[in-house]
C-alpha cells in the first residue's frame, strides 16, 4: 500500500495551484501570528489565529484538521468560562457557609449560657429551664452540609475538567505528529502553550514515540520535544528535496528515487514535497517501473528481457549497481549449461532417469536456455520411439500403474503394435481399464439421478476385481461416504457370514435390499443365506429311501 501510494504521488501534478498557495500561506500566517508576529496581546493573537483556522479548514487538502483544532480551542474556552462561573459560585458558597457557621455558633453560645444559669440555681419551680435549641441547629446544619457538598462537586469538576482538557489537547498533538501533519503539530503546540501556560507540558501516552526516537534513553516527551522533532522533520524533508534535485542533475536517478521516497514517507503533506515538479517525478517513476520489470524478469528467469531492461536502466541511471543482477544471470546460465552437459552424458549412457533429472534442473535455472531446445531435438532424432515406449511400458507395468498406460494409450498402441508380448499385455490392460472406466461412468450417471447406493455398488463390484486403480479408489471413497448406511448393512452381513451367523446375515442383507431394492450384493447374499438355511433344515434320508431314488 505504501509503494502504491508513492507511485500515485509520482503521477500526481504538483500542488502549485491558487488554492494550494493560499492554503500554505494561511498555515504559515497562523504559525507566525501565534509566535508574536505583528504584536498584540496574547488573547488577541490567539483569537486571530483561531479565526484563521476556520479559513484553512475550507480547503479540501486540509481534511478538516484545522476545524478540529479550532473546535478544541472553543471547547477549552467554554470549559474555562464554566469554571469561572463555578469559581464565582464557590465564593458565594463560601460566604454562605461562613454565615451559617456564625449562626450555629450564636445558637450554641445561647444554649450554653442558659445551661450555666440553670446550674447556678437561677431556674426554679417558678422559673423552669428553657427548652433546648437543637431545633434551631438542625436546619442550619442541613444548609451547611449542602453548601459543603456543592463546593466539593465544583472543585472536583474543576480538577477533572483541567486534566481532561490537557489530555484531549495532548492526544490531538500526538495524532497530528503521527499523521506527519507537522505544520498542524506546530500550530497545536503554540495554542497549547497559551492555554496551559505555567503548567507541566509532559505528553501523556508518548512512551512508544520515546522508544522509537530515543531508544532506551530516559527522556521526558513534552510539547517542546514534539515541537523540536517536527521542525527537524520539516528541515530534513526540505534538505532531502534539495538533494533529489542535485542527484537528478547528476544523472544519479537511483539515489534520487531513494531520497524522494524517504522525503515522501516523512513529509507527504509538506509544501516542499507537494510542489515537487511533475517532470522530475516522472523520471523517477519510469525508473521504478523499469526496476519492477527487471525484478519480475529475474523472478521468472527471463534473462533476455532482464538483460534488455538492465541496458535500458544503465543508459539514464548512472549510479545503478548492476553487480547483483549480472551475477545472478551469469550464475543461473552457467548452472543451466552444466545441467545440460549432465543430460548429454546421461543420454550417451541411455540413462532416462538421469536425463529427466538434468533437464529438470536446467529448466529450473534457465527456462529459455536455447541448448534445451537443441538437445530435445537431437534426442528425438537419435532415440527410437519404440524403445522409449517399451521402456516406459515396462516401468509402468512394474509399478502397476495401469492408469498411466491408459492415459498414454495412443502412444503405446502405435509403438507396441509389432511387439507380440507387450501388445498382449497392453490389450489386457485396455480391457481392464475399459471395465473400470465403464463402471465409473455408470456410477456418475447413477449419482446424477441421485442413486448413491447404486453408484457405490457399481464401483465396489469392479473394485473387488481391480483394487489397484487410484482413480477408482478415490471415486469409491467419495461414494462410500454418501452410501454409508447401505455399505454398513452389507459389511454387517459379510461379517455375520464369516461368523456363521446365517440368520443375522440374512436380516442384514434384507436391510440392504430395503435400502436399495436393485442391489446385486443384497440379492446374491439373500440367495446364499437361504440356500444355507434350507440345506441345514432338510431331514437326513434313510438308506432304503436313498436306494429307491436310484433309477
Q: Please enumerate in sequence order all residues whose Cβ is within 8 A of that of 32, keeping only pairs 6 or more positions apart, or say none.
A: none
Cα 15 from Cα 273, distance rounded (Å) = 9
Listed in order, strand segments (DSSP E) in 93-215 are none
DSSP letter (8 states) at residue 40? -
- Report residue 444 as a C-alpha cell: 456418475
Is the CB of residue 16 less than 8 Å from the CB of residue 172? no
Is the CB of residue 472 less than 8 Å from the CB of residue 466? yes
Please choose, from the candidates 306, 301, 307, the residue with its C-alpha nearest in 3D space to the C-alpha of residue 368: 301
Q: Please enumerate in sequence order all residues whose Cβ is within 8 A of that of 167, keeping only pairs 6 or more positions apart, or say none.
A: 204
352-365 and 370-382 helices, crossing angle to 10°? 160
- Give the 3-state secondary structure of 469-486: CHHHHHHHHHHHHHCHHH
Cα 108 from Cα 192, distance rounded (Å) = 52
Please choose, from the candidates 353, 389, 382, 299, the residue with its C-alpha nearest in 3D space to the C-alpha of residue 361: 353
Ranges of the chain with pLDDT below 50: 125, 540-551
DSSP letter (8 states) at residue 60? G
Q: Structural domain boundaries of the chain?
A: 10-96+142-199, 483-551
Q: What burial letters (b/e) apply to 146-165, b meaning 16+ CB within 10 Å?
A: ebeebbeebeeebeebeeeb
Computed from CA positions of residues 519, 525, 526, 531, in that sequence, does the dihedral angle turn out positive or negative?
Answer: positive
Cα 326 from Cα 331, distance rounded (Å) = 8
Cα 230 from Cα 182, distance rounded (Å) = 5
Please choose, from the candidates 417, 411, 460, 465, the residue with its C-alpha nearest in 3D space to the C-alpha of residue 440: 460
DSSP letter (8 states) at residue 199? S
Question: H helices of 217-322, where?
Answer: 223-249, 253-267, 271-274, 278-299, 303-316
Backbone angles phi, psi at 212, to 5 degrees: -70, -35
- Report residue 224 as a C-alpha cell: 517542546
| Residues across the chain | 551
Return the half-sphere exposure (C-beta side, CA atoms, 13 A cut-off) of residue 277: 7
pLDDT at 240: 93
Give the containing element (helix H, strand E) for 61. none
pLDDT at 277: 92
Q: What is the DSSP string of 378-404?
A: HHHHHS-HHHHHHHHHHHHHHHT-HHH
Question: What's the pTM?
Answer: 0.55
Backbone angles phi, psi at 188, to 5 degrees: -65, -35
DSSP letter (8 states) at residue 116? H
Q: Please enumerate in sequence order all residues whose Cβ is within 8 A of that of 476, keeping only pairs 6 or more positions apart, or say none.
A: 456, 459, 460, 463
Is the CB of residue 453 less than 8 Å from the CB of residue 515? yes
Return the half-sphere exposure (C-beta side, CA atoms, 13 A cut-off) of residue 374: 7
- Report residue 504 as a C-alpha cell: 443375522
pLDDT at 545: 41
DSSP letter (8 states) at residue 270? S
pLDDT at 551: 33
pLDDT at 420: 75
Please write the tens of the pLDDT for every residue from 324-382: 999 999 999 999 999 888 888 887 776 778 888 888 888 888 888 888 878 777 766 55
DSSP letter (8 states) at residue 133? S
- Is 416 strand, coil or helix? coil
Listed in order, strand segments (DSSP E) in 35-83 are none
Cα 348 from Cα 392, distance rounded (Å) = 18
Q: Please enumerate in sequence order all residues whose Cβ is within 8 A of that of 196, keeping only pairs 6 or more positions apart, or say none.
A: 165, 166, 169
Q: Please enumerate in sequence order all residues whose Cβ is within 8 A of that of 113, keeping only pairs 6 or more positions apart, or say none.
A: none
Cα 248 from Cα 284, distance rounded (Å) = 9
pLDDT at 540: 41
Is the CB of residue 72 less than 8 Å from the CB of residue 165? no
pLDDT at 448: 81
Computed from CA positions of residues 87, 92, 97, 102, in that sequence, does the dihedral angle turn out positive or negative?
Answer: positive
Backbone angles phi, psi at 35, to 5 degrees: -90, 5
- Report residue 248 as a C-alpha cell: 537528478
- Report residue 236 as a C-alpha cell: 530534513
Please choose, from the candidates 526, 489, 495, the residue with its C-alpha nearest in 3D space to the C-alpha of residue 511: 489
Please choose, from the candidates 443, 448, 445, the residue with its C-alpha nearest in 3D space to the C-alpha of residue 460: 443
Amino acid at each position: 500500500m505504501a509503494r502504491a501510494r508513492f507511485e500515485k504521488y509520482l503521477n500526481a501534478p504538483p500542488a502549485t495551484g491558487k488554492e494550494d498557495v493560499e492554503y500554505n500561506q494561511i498555515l504559515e500566517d497562523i504559525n507566525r501570528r501565534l509566535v508574536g508576529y505583528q504584536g498584540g496581546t496574547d488573547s488577541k493573537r490567539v483569537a486571530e489565529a483561531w479565526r484563521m483556522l476556520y479559513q484553512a479548514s475550507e480547503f479540501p487538502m486540509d481534511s478538516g484538521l484545522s476545524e478540529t483544532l479550532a473546535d478544541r480551542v472553543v471547547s477549552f474556552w467554554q470549559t474555562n468560562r464554566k469554571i469561572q462561573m463555578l469559581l464565582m459560585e464557590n465564593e458565594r458558597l463560601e460566604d454562605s457557609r461562613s454565615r451559617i457557621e456564625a449562626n450555629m455558633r450564636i445558637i450554641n453560645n445561647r444554649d450554653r449560657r442558659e445551661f450555666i444559669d440553670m446550674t447556678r440555681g437561677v431556674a426554679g419551680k417558678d422559673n423552669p429551664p428553657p427548652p433546648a435549641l437543637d431545633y434551631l441547629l438542625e436546619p442550619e446544619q442541613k444548609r451547611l452540609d449542602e453548601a459543603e457538598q456543592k463546593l466539593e462537586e465544583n472543585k472536583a469538576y474543576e480538577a477533572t475538567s483541567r486534566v481532561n482538557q490537557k489530555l484531549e489537547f495532548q492526544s490531538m498533538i500526538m495524532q497530528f505528529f503521527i499523521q506527519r501533519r507537522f505544520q498542524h503539530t506546530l500550530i497545536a503546540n503554540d495554542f497549547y502553550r497559551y492555554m496551559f501556560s505555567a503548567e507541566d507540558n509532559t505528553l501523556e501516552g508518548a512512551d512508544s514515540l520515546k522508544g522509537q526516537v530515543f531508544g532506551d534513553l530516559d527522556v521526558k516527551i513534552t510539547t517542546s520535544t514534539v515541537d523540536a522533532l517536527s521542525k527537524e522533520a520539516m528541515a530534513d524533508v526540505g534538505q532531502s528535496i534539495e538533494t533529489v534535485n542535485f542527484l537528478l542533475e547528476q544523472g544519479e536517478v537511483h539515489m534520487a528515487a531513494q531520497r524522494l521516497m524517504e522525503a515522501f514517507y516523512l513529509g507527504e503533506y509538506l509544501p516542499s514535497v507537494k510542489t515537487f515538479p511533475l517532470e522530475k517525478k516522472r523520471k523517477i517513476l519510469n525508473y521504478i517501473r523499469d526496476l519492477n520489470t527487471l525484478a519480475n524478469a529475474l523472478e521468472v528467469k527471463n534473462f533476455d528481457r532482464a538483460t534488455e531492461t538492465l541496458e535500458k536502466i544503465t543508459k539514464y541511471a548512472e549510479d545503478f549497481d548492476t553487480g547483483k543482477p549480472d551475477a545472478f544471470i551469469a550464475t543461473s546460465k552457467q548452472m543451466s549449461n552444466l545441467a545440460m552437459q549432465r543430460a548429454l552424458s546421461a543420454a550417451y549412457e541411455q540413462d532416462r532417469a538421469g536425463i529427466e533429472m538434468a533437464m529438470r534442473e536446467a529448466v529450473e535455472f534457465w527456462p529459455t536456455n536455447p541448448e534445451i531446445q537443441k538437445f530435445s531435438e537431437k534426442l528425438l532424432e537419435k532415440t527410437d520411439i519404440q524403445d522409449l515406449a517399451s521402456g516406459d511400458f515396462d516401468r509402468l507395468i512394474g509399478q502397476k500403474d495401469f492408469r498411466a498406460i491408459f492415459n498414454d494409450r495412443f502412444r503405446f498402441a502405435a509403438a507396441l503394435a509389432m511387439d507380440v508380448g507387450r501388445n498382449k499385455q497392453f490389450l489386457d490392460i485396455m480391457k481392464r481399464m475399459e471395465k473400470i472406466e465403464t463402471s465409473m461412468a455408470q456410477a456418475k450417471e447413477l449419482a446424477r439421478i441421485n442413486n448413491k447406493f447404486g453408484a457405490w455398488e457399481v464401483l465396489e463390484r469392479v473394485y473387488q476385481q481391480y483394487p489397484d486403480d487410484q482413480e477408482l479408489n478415490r471415486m469409491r471413497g467419495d461414494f462410500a461416504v454418501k452410501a454409508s448406511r447401505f455399505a454398513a448393512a452389507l459389511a454387517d452381513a459379510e461379517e455375520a457370514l464369516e461368523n456363521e451367523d446365517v440368520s443375522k446375515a440374512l436380516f442384514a442383507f434384507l436391510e440392504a435390499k430395503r435400502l436399495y431394492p436393485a442391489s446385486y450384493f443384497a440379492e446374491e447374499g439373500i440367495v446364499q443365506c437361504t440356500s444355507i438355511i434350507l440345506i441345514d433344515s432338510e431331514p437326513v434320508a434313510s438308506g432304503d429311501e436313498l436306494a429307491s431314488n436310484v433309477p
